[in-house]
Amino acid sequence: MRIRVENKLAGDFDALVVGMFSDDGAPLNLLDDKTRELVAKVKELGGATKPNETESTLYTDGGPAKRLVVVGMGKQADFKIASARSIAGATARSLRKKGAKKLAFALPFGNIDETGVAQAFAEGVVLSTFDAGVHRTGEGREEKLLDDVVFLTDQGNGIKDAVERGVVIGEGINFSRGLAHEPANTMYPAILAEEARKLAETYGLEFDALDKARLTEGGFKAILAVGQGSVNDPRMIVLKYNGAGSDQPYLGLVGKGITFDSGGISIKPADNMGDMKMDMSGGAWVLGTMRIISQLKPKINVLGIVAAAENMPSGTAYRPGDVIGSLEGKTIEVLNTDAEGRIVLADGLTYARKLGANKLVDLATLTGAIVVALGNNAPGVFGNDDAWTRKFLDTAAKAGENAWHMPLYPEHSDQIKSIIGDIVNTGGRSAGSSTAAAFLKEFTGGVPWIHLDIAGVAYTNAEKPHMAQGSTGYIMRTLVDFVLANVEE
């Protein structure tokens, strides 16, 4: 798919999409007289006033495209970055389903940052092309792809650069969504490591993946314990982007990569267990973010680590009541084998520090408790450095993604004290997402650290106008912007 910026429309397009604010109008200066007339008629008749509300008509006596689609963008005061992403994505997705392959967009920017809006428009279009049905056969696998997309504007190179950036981010997010959506029989730790290797080779990143022998030799006792019940051995996957010189520290991104989570001996209920193929979403987000960063080329060193394992019940699986070690040296009393994500992240966070990370962000579909607290509307954000955590929250707001600051009190650490070892891997039902974060904090070594519990936003069980059912890639745009925001520190 080619996405480009032009100041006039030339060519044979399946549809021209014109955005219209209910209290202002559409960007008509770049459009032909016939299109202006039709858009004015839609406004006169009170059509397309609400966000994503569309009015469509065919050009019956000639025009720049086969069809004109006027899409409502609501009131200017209500228009946000998230609105731009959703409107462009929903319109592109709807038209693609109808067989359109060549689209042109004339969309207004509202009263907010034009480059940010242009980037979001491009992201929305790219995200709309994600197809979860890669294993469908026959008629169900008919692909309806976009070939050519044009954004009409006369705003200059700033908009062009923003659109190109949006394409890079959108493609990176779709890459992550594809990894997370892949069934566990075709995506287990060794395969995930191979995908990371290919990514590194394509985008010029350093790659390493510690297999069972190296994990054993290196003392990665926590991740080995989680993976010991599966025939698919764990991997500690490492990607390095060196943009600031070898004498500079790394910003470490650490992702939970549980390629399938049965719950282990503490087995999950059968209902919806199939969704646990996406328990590797945090790891997939890290890989996609590293792909994006390698293309944007900021002057910062970034370390991406994915703690990949499969959590299965068997005669060799770790058990409730076991006491296991960790790379950090701390001992963990296992009360529930289904609280495995924090255990693999323990070794991932420690290893990131050993490799030179002086700041950490981890991502994980970690707790059902965060879904109870926030629903499917925002990830929970925890941290040990108030200023750095606030910077992340501000970045999320600017990127148009929800994120909510969750508490992490000393009392939460008290809940995970063990009487036989150092800590337990679950503090019980009370404040479950906070006690999980308190567990992770034990392995950060006191460096600035942010934990993102993405369990409620990593995937959706319902198709949305702008997004296919399944993996979402939510909060990745913020994560990329946050990495860039730390370049000068």
Catalytic machinery residues: 268, 342
Helix (H, G, I), strand (E, B) or coil at 31: coil
Number of neighbouring beta carbons within 10 Å of residue 158: 12
Nearest CA among 276, 272, 209 for reference residue 240: 209
Q: What are phi and psi of 55, to 5 degrees?
A: -125, 130
Nearest CA among 131, 146, 151, 150 for reference residue 99: 146
Q: Which residues contact 128 (CB under 8 A, 6 or more apart)?
A: 88, 89, 90, 92, 93, 96, 466, 467
- Identify the residue whose tokens are 């500690």: 236
Fill in the amino acid letter for 336. Answer: N
Round to whole Å and give the CA distance between 421 and 438: 16
**Phi-psi group of 371: left, alpha or beta (phi > 0 → left; psi -120 to 50 → alpha; rest → beta):** alpha
Round to whole Å and give the CA distance between 424 and 309: 20
Provide the pairing of β-strand 357-364 with 250-261: parallel
Q: Which residues contact 42 (CB under 8 A, 6 or more apart)?
A: 20, 48, 55, 70
Q: Are residues 235 and 210 in contact, defined by beta-carbon separation less than 8 angstroms? A: yes
What is the 3 state secondary structure string of 423-462? EECCCCCCCHHHHHHHHHHCCCCCCCEEEEECCCCCEECC
